[in-house]
Structure 1
Amino acid sequence: MSSLRWLLDRRTADGRHSVLCNHFHTSSYWFFVFDAPTFTLRDVLKHQELWPLQRRQIREIGLQVVQAVQSLHKNGVLHSDITPDSIEVVSMDTVTLNMCDNEGAFFDKVLQVVLRSTKIRLVFFGGVATGGDREIGTDQYRAPEMVFGWVSKFRTDNFSIGCVIWEMFVDSALFHPCRKGPFYVQEKAHQFVARLGEFPDDMVERVRRIRGDIFSCSGEKLIGVGDLSPEVLDFVKHADVISDVITDEEALEVIENMTELSPKKRLALTDILDCSFFSLTDGPF
């Protein structure tokens, strides 16, 4: 109750949390309803002056997202819809930096526009992951197990975070959007392989037991190329694997380990935070 009183107090409306609109509770949980975000990471990605995003700011935003999702997981809750649209950016104010080298010498006329603050809040619509609906989540950020209709695990969220971190570096989604329809799963499977490599044997066998239109009867070869839309087919033919696009080795380690096709192979968030990309000892940029 003290937290509720603090949130309702006008004196605490200082930007550290979203505006509390309503609250209610059940026998097990207390629910807080906050105002919709004014700005999101999507707005940042669309802001041409901010591109490319500063490495340090990508790290700071990514770190906050991981820690926020960790907090949900510790309470036994999946998010299941982590996208740039569900990451609220507290302020879109910017500053212009004079760039310098490692010795502190400023480059002549080299300026970079960056966010004044990288503070974010993770927007969570409670209950999004409580059902078994295979429609849960946003298409381009959905993990393979969600696409195949399997039970989501905590590491399902890890996959989505990896997609978001990729997008902050590349300024485009990891996958092409797919329209819902009879060939949705086929289109997703082909995109997963194009970007992330072949499915492991155990996943192939599990998919084959429930669907006969994804993999060939023997081996790991995908079938159904003729069923792909022209846009998805073009993407599959020309998509580069992650390691050919991300040249930052520390960022690559994080993205690859978060977007493993098999949930079992994805690093836990605790281990992700131990990766050198999230170390605070590297340079300012």
Structure 2
Amino acid sequence: MSFDKSNTYEALNRIGRGAYGTVYKAKDRKTGNDVALKRVCVPLTEDGIPMNTLREIALLRQLNTFDHPNIVRLLDVCHGQQMEKELIMYLVFEHVEQDLATYIEKNSKGFCSIEIRNLAKEILQGVDFLHSNRVVHRDLKPQNLLVTHDGHIKLADFGLAKSYDFEMQLTSVVVTLWYRAPEVLLGLTYATPVDIWSIGCIIVELYSLKPLFCGCSEGDQLSKIFRIIGKPSEKEWPEENVSIKWNSFDVINTITIEEIIPNICETACDLVMSMLTFDPKKRVSALQALNHPFFTEEPLNT
């Protein structure tokens, strides 16, 4: 593995694979600090590096200037080997030891309500920051949420993030299946509410220690969703050319969030259900969620 500034960073070992690249743990030789190197292969056009890649890097640098506590920091961008049709680039991020999936796995006895509230709040603060900067993450899942040694959340893996105008809608299917919102599963256009749906799934997982909807296909995923939130009425079903028809679902053996998580408090359940709403227009926003009684009530049941 070689790249410009190779005398600055020493690669130690591979720690993961994201949507668009491999991530390595490395050491910054100047400071001695550990960093995370994301290796990305960029296809070159006749004009060189594609505009969308340059925009992504500009976006990361722009977000970085705010130094938000719940967003992983971009430290450097390095050009690696250039071939005829592609360029290897390395995005250098602060290194955080574990992701939320590992953190959940380690806490086999579960989390108390206060811990869940703090984790959920920090996820929402990071997402509210992205949304207020016209960025939708599009791939929120426990593997893309990092947890620091003192238990704080940092959003990572913006390989799929995209800056957008509020008039523009995003169409490509990108979110990991289990955390996908219904509009993505149906092949519809979508925007920031897809992130809110994912957070609702993640909050339930913090209570139950296992994913909420484990579908094996788009149709199966929707069936599992409707079993909990209820099948929408035919009137609510999108009129656009959806990939799956309303009458293809026969929902039986319905179950509530309270049955899945008997120890969930009333306000947490209300918050989750406001996120897991079929119609994205009726889904709560990140800012509205942060003002929900779940985060403001005192005292909170432990």
The two structures have a TM-score, normalised by structure 1, of: 0.68
Residue identity over aligned pairs, in percent, reads 22
Higher strand share: 2
Higher RCO structure, 1 or 2 (CA under 8 Å, sep 6+): 1
Q: Which residue of 2 aligns with 1:282?
A: 299
The SS at the match of 1:126 is helix
1:118-172 deviation line (CA, Å, top 9, x unaligned)? 21211132344576322x0111100001111112211110000000000001112
1:63–1:10: structure 2 CA closer, same or farther, 3 Å change rule?
Answer: farther
Structure 1 position 70 matched with structure 2 position 128:
yes
Structure 2 portions without partners, runs of 5+: 1-27, 40-48, 61-73, 75-90, 164-169
* Partner in structure 1 of residue 143 of structure 2: 85
Contact in 2 for aligned 1:80/1:156 (Cα 8 Å): yes
What is the aligned partner in structure 1 of residue 205 from structure 2? 167
Q: Does the CA-based 8 Å contact 1:200-1:262 persist in structure 2?
A: no
**Aligned pair in 2 of structure 1 residues 9, 77: CA closer, same or farther (>3 Å)?**
farther
Q: Name the structure 2 match of 1:231.
A: none
Within 5 Å, give how 1:26-37 maps onto structure 2.
Answer: 26=54, 29=58, 31=60, 32=74, 33=91, 34=93, 37=96
Asked if structure 1 preserves the Cα contact closer than 8 Å seen for 2:139 and 2:160, the reply is: no
Deviates more, 1:168-177 or 1:251-260: 168-177
SS in 1 for 2:115: helix
Q: Where does residue 112 of structure 1 map in the other structure?
A: none
- The whole-number CA distance in structure 2 between the counterparts of 1:19 and 1:280 is 38
Q: Give the whole-Å Cα distance in 2 for the aligned partners of 1:276 and 1:39.
A: 30
Deviation at 1:279, TM superposition (A): 1.8
Root-mean-square deviation (Å): 3.1
* Alignment map for 1:163-242 (pairs within 5 Å): 163-178=201-216, 184-206=217-239, 209-211=241-243, 214-216=245-247, 222-223=248-249, 238=253, 240-242=255-257
- Does residue 259 in structure 1 map to residue 276 in structure 2? yes
**AA of the residue aligned to 2:123:** V
Opposite residue 163 of structure 1, the aligned amino acid is C
Report matched runs for 1:28-47 at 5 Å. Answer: 29=58, 31=60, 32=74, 33=91, 34=93, 37-47=96-106
Query: Does 2:156 match 1:123?
Result: yes
1 or 2, which has the higher helix percentage?
1
Structure 2 residue matching 1:80: 3-state secondary structure? coil
SS state at 2:123 partner:
helix
Check whether the contact 2:171–2:189 (CA below 8 A) recurs between aligned residues.
Answer: yes
Which secondary structure does the structure 2 equivalent of 1:29 belong to?
helix
Residues 139 and 22 of structure 1: CA distance in aligned 2, closer, same or farther (over 3 Å) = closer
Q: Secondary structure at the match of 1:240?
A: coil
Query: Are the equivalent residues in 2 in contact too, given 1:192–1:261 (CA < 8 A)?
Result: no
How far apart in 1 are the matches of 2:293 and 2:229?
Answer: 22
Q: CA offset at residue 22 of structure 1? A: 8.0
- The residue type equivalent to 2:134 in the other structure is G
In 1, the alpha carbon distance for the partners of 2:265 and 2:207 equals 9
Pairwise CA distance, 1:36: 6.1
Query: Runs of 5+ in structure 1 lacking a partner?
Result: 1-7, 92-116, 179-183, 217-221, 226-235
